[in-house]
Amino acid sequence: MIRSRFVDLANGQRLHCLEAGAGPLLLFLHGFPQFSGMWRRQLGHFSTRFHCVAPDQRGYNLSSKPQAVRDYRARPLVEDIVQLADALGHDRFVLVAHDWGGAIAWNVAAWHPDRVERLFICNAPHPITLLRALRTDPAQVEASAYMSLFRLDKAERVMAEDGYRRLKRMVFEAWGRSGVAADDETVAAHVAAWSQPGALTAMLNWYRASPLHPPEPDAPLPDLDPAMFHVRVPTRVLWGMRDGALLPGILDGLDAHVDDLQIERVPDASHWIVDERGDHVNRWLDAGLSR
């Protein structure tokens, strides 16, 4: 049975979580513009062997929504995940993550290798390969143009117009092109999450706080030290090759930044692979967890 609970962290944040099962900790991190509910199929499948927990990340749905943009930088978001494991009573854990959740998971694994048993990434770029692509690949810069919109002051108004029409199109129309239609309950659950007071601004603040985005005159791309982002824990990457926002070239050279890496490419899946190919994701996780 999947349970809903709130977990208070040592840093003062409160994360709403979906939780199931008992055993070693298996943490599931969602991305933009989703929430903990995207992992229900995985929570049910793995709860017979693991303590499965999917938080609404900071700013999303029912979790805390600090107001300052700086509160959505990488370090406090990483701190949330480590402190969540502490609050749940686990020293070590496995991370499964998608999109922005994956961006944070890469950093958790790099900065806290003593805490992470294994890392599973679904369509989420490593920061160093994303930085390279934003500097050298015009196609990726064009594909990332939406990030520039999300950083603008008008982004909330634009994304909320017509009952969140653009967000719905961004997510659910993409599923439909892969042959999977979102049901009315799923759409309503997402709209309810987006409609929580302060949620849309907090979600967009992840983009405003990030140094990785298409180059802007007043916000040039940073210089990052690859050593700070080197991952030494066993890592498995699943990539929907029809991802129109994060192009497959982001995978090139990833092995230079991850000691133990396996990549599986799924030709008929998009960025939203967890929703489109949930059974495939479960089989992929089963295989990786059984090693």
Question: Which pLDDT score, from 0 to 100, does residue 84 have?
Answer: 98
The gap from C-alpha 114 to its chain's centroid, in whole angstroms, comes to 21
Active-site annotation holder among 207, 243, 257, 275: 207
Output the average pLDDT for the chain: 96
238: tokens are: 């699943």
Cis-peptide into 33, omega within 30 deg: yes
Choose, from 45, 213, 271, 275, the residue flagged as catalytic.
271
Q: What is residue 217's predicted lDDT score, i.e. its pLDDT?
A: 81
Reply yes or no on whether the pLDDT at 101 is more than 70.
Answer: yes
CA 125 to CA 122: how far, in whole Å?
9
Mean pLDDT of 143-147: 95
Please give the single-letter amino acid code of residue 39.
W
Told to judge if 99 belongs to the known catalytic residues of this protein, a careful annotator would answer yes
Residue 253 predicted with pLDDT over 80? yes
pLDDT at 176 over 70: no
Contacts by residues 2-10 (CB-CB < 8 Å, ≥ 24 positions apart):
2/40, 2/43, 2/44, 2/47, 6/62, 7/55, 7/84, 7/87, 7/88, 8/87, 9/80, 9/83, 9/84, 9/87, 10/83, 10/86, 10/87
Span 234-252, pLDDT tens digits: 999 999 999 999 999 999 9
Rounded Cα distance between 157 and 249, Å, is: 33
Residue 132 reports pLDDT greater than 90: yes
Q: What is the mean pLDDT of residues 248-273?
A: 97
**Tens digits of per-residue pLDDT, 182-191?**
889 999 999 9
pLDDT computed for residue 264 by the predictor: 98
Mean pLDDT of 85-93: 98
Burial zone of 3 (CB within 10 Å; 0-12 exposed, 13-18 middle, 19+ buried):
exposed
Residues paired with residue 15 on neighbouring β-strands, in sequence order:
7
Q: What is the DSSP string of 15-65?
A: EEEEEE--SSEEEEE--TT--GGGGHHHHHHHTTTSEEEEEPPTTSTTS--
Instruction: Give the model's pLDDT for residue 87.
Output: 98
Looking at the chain, the whole-number percentage of residues with pLDDT higher than 70 is 100
Q: What is the pLDDT of residue 262?
A: 98
pLDDT per position as a tens digit, 216-238: 888 889 999 999 999 999 999 99
The answer to whether 280 and 181 are in contact (CB under 8 A) is no
Give me the catalytic one of 99, 126, 190, 257: 99
Cα Rg, the chain, nearest whole Å: 18
Q: At what angle do helices 100-111 and 74-88 cross, to 10 degrees?
A: 70
Nearest-angstrom CA–CA distance, 212 and 193 = 25
Q: How far apart are CA 256 and CA 239, in angstroms?
A: 18
What's the confidence (pLDDT) of residue 61? 98
271 in active site: yes
Mean pLDDT value of segment 55-70: 98
For position 220, what pLDDT does the model report?
87
Looking at the predicted structure, is the pLDDT value of residue 18 above 90? yes
Per-residue pLDDT at 215 exceeds 70: yes
Q: Name the residue among 11, 12, 93 with its Cα closest to residue 52.
A: 93
Q: What is the pLDDT of residue 238?
A: 98
Q: If we measure between CA atoms, which residue out of 26, 36, 32, 31 comes closest to residue 5?
A: 36
